[in-house]
Amino acid sequence: MSALTTAAPGAPVVELDLAELRRDPYPAYAELRRTAPLAWVPSVGRHLLTRYDDIVHAEKLPEVFSSREEGSLLLRTVGPNMLREDDPDHRRLRAAAEPPTRPRQVRDQWAAAFERTAHKLLDRIAGRGEGDLIRDFAEPLVAANLALVLGLRNASADDIADWSRAMMDGNSNYADDPDIWLRAERATRAIEEAVAEMAEVTRREPDGSVISSMVHAADPVELAEIQNNVKVIIGGGVNEPRDVFGVGAWALLQRPDALDRALKDPSAWKRVFEETARWISPIGMYPRQLTQDYEIAGVTLPAGSRVALVIASGNRDESVFERADEFDLDRPHRPHLAFGGGPHFCMGAWVARHEVSAIAWPLVFSRLKGLRLDDGATASDSGSAAGSLDGWVFRGLTSLDVTWQATA
Amino acid sequence: MPTVIFQLPDGTERKVIAVSGTVLMQAAVSGGVAGIVAECGGNASCATCHVYVDSAQAELVGPPNDVEDEMLDFTAAERRPTSRLSCQIHLSDALDGLVVHVPEEQV
Ligand code: FES
């Protein structure tokens, strides 16, 4: 099977401007869902699949909608890894890496340290009365937590955040910029070294981390496989929880009623998390490649076709979510697609849920009294007017400037 | 070909003819049973395929495995003594006539 880089016969061709898509993809998605739920988009070089039901359908058929994509930038950036594998290889690697990210492990093994780190970061800024909640809090928090869960005791939170950014840039380096490749390579080499060192340490003393778990897996995993999969986890593990934190905090700062509710009833933070992930999904789409001819959304795609499952669009599908563009904690519970579905269901889901909804939001809103958006940092409900919201493959706030009453 | 019965929260009932050797979650999904979300496709990592086994049959079905037991602490609807993840219940003819109750919430 070779990758087809043209439209499937019969597929509507829709021109979308990538800069516009980054600024606000939602109007284009609404139009696609209405008129061309499977469309070839030349600027992306893929068919975009945008309706909820079709996306769920595709997710349930991993043997047809394969994760093995030829010419994948992710493969070039980090090498072979579980995100671009199908079962049984995917399953072997996932089973080896997953135990430390399961919810009970998160609660019993990591939560206390997550909380200490959050307090430390808040101690540092509480006296200032102003700051950027992304740069000063969310990013260092999730990066430090990630280092802990992965078992990279030999890396700082800054290292993790920098590596993540360098790899994410490589992963979206469609323009083939040599500087970006160079930075990505430097990051991946540094990760390889750090992982090799910790793999050696945990071989002697298991520590319950992801690296340790992979080193001691019942079904053996090679060092290179551990290295590549740690790269992938660092690539995605920073921006996703960071972006849910940022978007959710920003949504609440504009909705005092919703915020009040969460402050009075801590169980509501869970709803805030799921609704935030639905409303502005940190991962907007992921690629798949067809292993065989298959009809979906009224078009027969030939084997080799490249498809993007646009989960950000599925999460705004009006046929599933009423008033889908609104952030609404009271909407009827319907499963959102933000974590993906099927065998690749987000491995970090339970870590992210806990660090953001049980720790980061409650601590920020209880410790920073009088927290409010900096003047000028406003946005419409759809997020379209927000200057700092950016991205469509990944979407989040690049900054969240706020003020509060400084404490001594 | 065991037949399994899903009791839905609205009081209605769905009968699905399943294939021996598959798991209960698959029977629910291919039978279009609303309320079994099964986000992770059967890998015991999402806890959205939660069911309550009818108490009369709990012993026949058996207890959850270790990973499942952990996930069951994190289901959206309350965990009860007969809670199971339907993706971890392997069907055989011995389970013909199995009745499970689908909880109100999965996410
Ligand atoms: S389908 Fe995800 S736990 Fe059963």
Q: DSSP letter string over A332-368? A: -----STT--GGG--TTHHHHIIIIIIIIHHHHHHHS
Radius of gyration of chain B (CA): 12
Higher pLDDT, A387 or A135: A135
- DSSP annotation string for B9-59: TTS-EEEEE--TTSBHHHHHHHTT-TT---TTSSSSSS--SEEEE-GGGHH
Residue B88 CA, closest ligand 1 atom number? 4
What is the identity of the amino acid at A329? Answer: L
Residue A377 scores a pLDDT above 60: no
Average pLDDT over residues A170-189: 91
What is residue A1's predicted lDDT score, i.e. its pLDDT? 59
Tokens standing for residue B80 = 């009860």
| Percent of chain A whose predicted confidence (pLDDT) is above 70 | 97
Does any ligand 1 atom lie closer than 6 A to the CB of residue B40?
Answer: yes
Place of tokens 């690049």: A398
pLDDT tens readout for residues A267-318? 999 999 999 999 999 999 999 999 999 999 999 999 999 999 999 999 999 9
pLDDT tens readout for residues A26-74? 999 999 999 999 999 999 999 999 999 999 999 989 999 999 988 888 8
CA distances from A39 to A8, A9, A45, A299, A301 (A): 9, 11, 11, 9, 11
CB of B37 within 8 Å of a chain A CB? The answer is yes
Residue B37's closest chain A neighbor by CA? A335
- Residues 6 or more apart whose CB falls under 8 angstroms from that of A290 comprise A1, A64, A65, A66, A301, A302, A303, A304, A305, A307
What is residue A378's predicted lDDT score, i.e. its pLDDT? 53
**8 Å CB contact of A62 and B29:** no
Q: What does pTM read for this prediction?
A: 0.94
CB of A88 within 8 Å of a chain B CB? The answer is no
What is residue A333's predicted lDDT score, i.e. its pLDDT? 83
What is residue A383's predicted lDDT score, i.e. its pLDDT? 44
| Percent of chain A whose predicted confidence (pLDDT) is above 90 | 87
Looking at every residue in chain B, the average pLDDT score rounds to 94
pLDDT band at A376 (very low <50, low <70, confident <90, very high): low
pLDDT tens readout for residues A388-407? 899 999 999 999 999 999 98
Dist CA A290 CA A282 (whole Å): 25
Task: Give residue B87 CA to ligand 1 midpoint distance, Å.
Answer: 6
Higher pLDDT, A75 or B100: B100
Antiparallel, parallel or unpaired: β B13-17 and B83-85: unpaired
pLDDT tens readout for residues A195-247? 999 999 999 999 999 999 999 999 989 999 999 999 999 998 999 999 999 99
**8 Å CB contact of B41 and A336:** no
How many Cα atoms are found within 13 Å in the side-chain-facing hemisphere of A173? 23
What's the length of chain B? 107
> Max alpha carbon distance in chain A (Å)?
67
Task: Give residue B5 CA to ligand 1 midpoint distance, Å.
Answer: 19
**8 Å CB contact of A335 and B45:** no
Dist CA A36 CA A13 (whole Å): 9
pLDDT tens readout for residues B8-35? 999 999 999 999 899 999 999 989 898 9
Looking at every residue in chain A, the average pLDDT score rounds to 93
Task: Give residue A194 CA to ligand 1 midpoint distance, Å.
Answer: 34
pLDDT band at A173 (very low <50, low <70, confident <90, very high): confident
Does any ligand 1 atom lie closer than 6 A to the CB of residue B68?
Answer: no
Query: Which residues in chain B are closer than 8 Å to A350, comparing Cβ atoms?
Result: 74
Tokens standing for residue A15 = 């021109």
pLDDT tens readout for residues A323-374? 999 999 999 888 999 999 999 999 999 999 999 999 999 999 999 999 999 8
**8 Å CB contact of A339 and B106:** no
Residue A8 scores a pLDDT above 90: yes
How are strands ordered across the β-sheet holding A372-373?
A: A130-132, A401-403, A372-373
